[in-house]
Amino acid sequence: MPFVVGNEGAGDVTAVGPGVTDIKVGDRVAYVAALGGYSAERLLPADRAVKLPEKISYEQAAGMMLKGMTVQYLIRRTFKVEKGTTLLMHAAAGGVGLILCQWANALGATVIGTVGSKEKAELAKKNGCHHTILYRDEDFVAKVKEITGGKLCDVVYDAIGKTTFPASLDCIRPLGMFVSFGAASGPIEAFNIGILQQKGSLFATRPTLNTYTAKREDLMMTAKDLFDIVASGKVKIPVNQTYALKDAVKAHRELEGRETTGSSILVP
């Protein structure tokens, strides 16, 4: 304590500290940074602030800085998704999911997504997901085998964790990549690394945006790539829930209850 939750946000600059030269009062900025986002005003390290292009609204920015920059590094750096790539995205209708489906589709990939309901499947499809799997009712490994004609995926993006591991590994072709970037259902427990050999000399990584944007130049490059694809209209930021900041508890209950889709924002 004191503890203020929230890692991303957008707003205008009302004051700058000594030595800050590239950001001035009145600039529109957005960020992913240390906790403190659930607030009407906050202090922000200047090297974490990114100026917003005119075409990007505060709502879009607040709904995409963490999730959209995460998608950028996941599909452009962790594994280079391109025309011909086949990928599996778990929770395809979530905040990260809907952005990744659109962006990977725009790059020419075949996108397979798992979702928790028929409504979410519809939404994922509208956002570029070619094939959806209802992983609460269907065996997602069997479905991936069927969809790919046995070839499996080049890469699996898994932020579900406990309940989708190790089955996710069975969806990956030999020498493919397992990207574990979250643990919505709980963390993956310690496992014998030999399983990667048994499943086909797989690569596995557990990345986080913090490392990929630790250097200012990487942060700026990642943000620019995101701003460009959103400005081009190829990726739309689905802000599907807007809450008053005072209703943050409701927002959290709905997130935990898997009731939300796309991005959620809180407005002071």
- Out of 37, 97, 128, 238, which residue is the one contacting ligand NAP (CB under 6 A)? 97
CB of residue 263 vs ligand NAP: minimum separation in angstroms? 7
- Out of 61, 93, 230, 251, which residue is the one contacting ligand NAP (CB under 6 A)? 93
Cβ closer to ligand NAP: 55 or 215?
Answer: 215
Binding mask 238-257 for ligand NAP (x = CB under 6 A): -----------------xx-
Q: Give, to the nearest 10 degrees, the angle between helix 118-126 and helix 95-106.
A: 40
Strand order in the sheet with 50-51: 8-12, 28-32, 50-51
- Return the beta strands (E) in the chain as ranges: 8-12, 28-32, 50-51, 86-89, 110-115, 131-134, 153-158, 172-180, 203-205, 239-244, 263-267
CB of residue 196 vs ligand NAP: minimum separation in angstroms? 20
Q: Residue 80 has which token pair?
A: 């280079």
- Out of 91, 109, 153, 230, which residue is the one contacting ligand NAP (CB under 6 A)? 91
Give CA–CA dist 86/109, Å, rounded: 6
CB of residue 163 vs ligand NAP: minimum separation in angstroms? 6
CB of residue 156 vs ligand NAP: minimum separation in angstroms? 14
- Out of 88, 111, 209, 230, which residue is the one contacting ligand NAP (CB under 6 A)? 209
- Nearest-Å Rg of the Cα atoms of the chain is 19
CB of residue 227 vs ligand NAP: minimum separation in angstroms? 18
Cβ closer to ligand NAP: 17 or 214?
Answer: 214
Decide if residue 181 touches ligand NAP (CB under 6 A): yes
Give CA–CA dist 178/204, Å, rounded: 5
